[in-house]
């Protein structure tokens, strides 16, 4: 079989490396709107060849690993595929994408979200083994073709992923808390420090805590703008919940209610018993 990858950044490039290891596909073709990314992907061995969009459509399996608005525009451009063509998107929010799929390719489409990534982006950020022992969430599988679902599952298992299925509505609500909200917090933390006078003096003192919490602030603004826009209502709800917790902590500290603050922190300690 032949696989095509549209979007050759962190996720698309890492998928190319993973598929090469799995040996499922004889050839890996790539397509990216950036000529620089295409050249980098070839030099890094992420794909065998970079081709035009029309040739990507001839592949047996097509992965779409662009920012979310790019996934939607790509789906509108795809011509009606063969009955066995499998189209898999790798985006981080699902409902808006699924609502936009042209009816003539819906059975060919499998919505997937690999819960893996880093704060880096572009072809140079691609990593071998990025997906190993990670979860991939497959959504609304009842609307996808049986052949396409079976093949998608085989591919993800072959690259070492664990499968979870749920509706797009459930997915978007859950990831708002565990993925999208942490990115907003990280961007906010970074900007809070940068807004201070002479922030370089503050940053000279940083340790592991700040580095860990601010790591996500290095992420692609374009990619995360799309994610935040696609999952706007769920993210706003998550931000509201987080804001209430911050205000509660502020009140306890302001009023010297230290025992209650300890209880609040002890409750947070229990989170990792579920992980």
For 1-48, what is each residue's pLDDT tens digit?
Answer: 999 999 999 999 999 999 999 989 999 999 999 999 999 999 999 999
Quick one: pLDDT at residue 26? Answer: 94
The answer to whether domain 2-166 and domain 171-274 are alike in fold is no
pLDDT, average across residues 265-275: 92
Buried residues in 13-33 as b, exposed as e (16+ CB within 10 A): bbbbbbbbebebbeebbbbbe
d(CA 59, CA 185): 40
Put the strands of the sheet holding 2-6 in their side by side order.
49-50, 27-31, 2-6, 61-64, 86-89, 109-114, 135-139, 162-166
Q: Do residues 103 and 143 touch, judged by C-beta distance below 8 A?
A: no
C-beta of residue 50 within 8 angstroms of C-beta of residue 41: yes
Which residues are paired to 31 by β-bridges? 6
Q: Is the pLDDT of residue 275 over 80?
A: no
Predicted confidence at residue 219, as pLDDT, reads 92
Contact between 113 and 136 under an 8 Å Cβ cutoff? The reply is: yes
Q: Which of 103-112, 116-125, 190-199 has the highest mean pLDDT?
A: 103-112
Phi, psi of 110 (to 5 degrees): -125, 125
Rounded-to-integer distance, Cα 201 and Cα 192, Å: 14
The pLDDT of residue 224 is 95
pLDDT of the residue at 18: 96
Question: What is the predicted pLDDT for the residue at 81?
Answer: 86
pTM for the model stands at: 0.90
Domain boundaries, the chain: 2-166, 171-274
Convert the pLDDT of each residue in 199-208 to its tens digit.
Answer: 888 888 788 8
Type and span of the H or E element at 268: helix 258-269
C-alpha pair distances (Å), 255 with each of 143, 248, 252, 273: 54, 11, 5, 30
Cβ within 8 Å of residue 211, ≥6 positions away: none
Beta bridge partners of 30: 5, 50
The C-alpha angle with vertex 17 and arms to 13 and 19, in degrees rounded to 5, equals 110
Token output for 89 = 């998107």
CATH 3.40.1170.10 given to domain 2-166: no
pLDDT band at 197 (very low <50, low <70, confident <90, very high): confident
Q: How far apart are CA 14 and CA 128, in angstroms?
A: 6
At 206-254, the pLDDT tens digits run 888 888 999 999 999 999 999 999 999 999 999 999 999 999 999 999 9
Range 171-274 has CATH code 1.10.3660.10: yes
The per-residue pLDDT for 3 is 97
Q: What is the pLDDT of residues 83-111, one digit of tens each?
A: 999 999 999 999 999 999 999 999 999 99
State both tokens at 71: 């996934």
């Amino acid at each position: 079989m032949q696989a095509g990858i549209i979007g050759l950044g962190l996720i698309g490039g890492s998928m190319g490396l993973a598929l090469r290891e799995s040996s499922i596909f004889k050839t890996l073709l790539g397509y990216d709107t950036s000529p620089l990314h295409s050249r980098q992907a070839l030099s890094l061995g992420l794909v065998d060849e970079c081709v035009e969009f029309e040739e990507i459509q001839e592949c047996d399996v097509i992965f779409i690993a662009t920012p979310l608005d790019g996934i939607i525009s790509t789906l509108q451009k795809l011509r009606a595929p063969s009955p066995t063509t499998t189209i898999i998107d790798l985006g981080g929010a699902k409902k808006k994408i699924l609502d936009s799929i042209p009816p003539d390719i819906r059975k060919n489409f499998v919505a997937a979200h690999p819960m893996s990534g880093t704060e880096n982006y572009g072809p140079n950020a691609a990593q071998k083994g990025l997906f190993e022992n990670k979860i991939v969430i497959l959504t609304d599988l009842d609307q996808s073709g049986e052949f396409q679902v079976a093949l998608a599952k085989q591919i993800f298992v072959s690259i070492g992923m664990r499968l979870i299925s749920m509706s797009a509505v459930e997915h978007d609500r859950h990831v708002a808390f565990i993925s999208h909200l942490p990115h907003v917090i990280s961007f906010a933390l970074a900007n809070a420090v940068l807004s201070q006078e002479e922030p370089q003096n503050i940053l000279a003192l940083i340790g592991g805590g700040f580095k860990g919490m601010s790591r996500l602030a290095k992420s692609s603004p374009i990619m995360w703008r799309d994610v935040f826009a696609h999952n706007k209502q769920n993210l706003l709800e998550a931000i509201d919940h987080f804001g209430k917790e911050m205000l509660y902590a502020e009140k306890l500290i302001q009023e010297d209610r230290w025992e209650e603050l300890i209880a609040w922190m002890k409750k947070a300690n229990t989170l990792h018993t579920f992980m």
